[in-house]
Amino acid sequence: MDIPGVSSCGCFIIPRKVLLRFSRDRKLKASQRKAFADAVRLEKGWRHARAVKSRLALLATQVLPGELGAAASAPPHVLLFDCRHGNVLPGVPVHDPGASQDQAAAQAFTETTEVVRFFRSVFGRNSLDGRGMALLSSVHYSVHYNNAFWNGSQMTYGDGDGAIFVGFTRATDVIAHELTHGLTQFTAGFGYDNQAGGLNESISDVFGSMFRQWRAGQTVAQADWLIGSDIMGPVALARGYTCLRDMANPAARHCLSPQPVHFSRYRDGMDPHESSGIANLAFCQAAQGLGGNSWEVAGQVWFHALTELKPAPDMKMKAFANRTRTVAAALHPDEPAVRKAIDAAWKAVGL
The residues assigned a catalytic role are: 178, 273
CA-based Rg of the chain, rounded to a whole angstrom? 19
Smallest CA-to-CA distance from 105 within 141, 75, 132, 74 is with 141
Contact 283, 247 (CB under 8 A): yes
Contact 272, 191 (CB under 8 A): no
Distance CA 109, CA 320 (A): 33
What backbone torsions phi and psi does residue 305 show, to the nearest 5 degrees? Answer: -65, -35
Give the H or E element holding residue 81: strand 78-82
Distance CA 303, CA 222 (A): 22
Q: For the purposes of burial, counting CB atoms within 10 Å of the CB of 321, is it exposed (0-12), middle (13-18) or buried (19 or more)?
A: buried
Contact 277, 264 (CB under 8 A): no
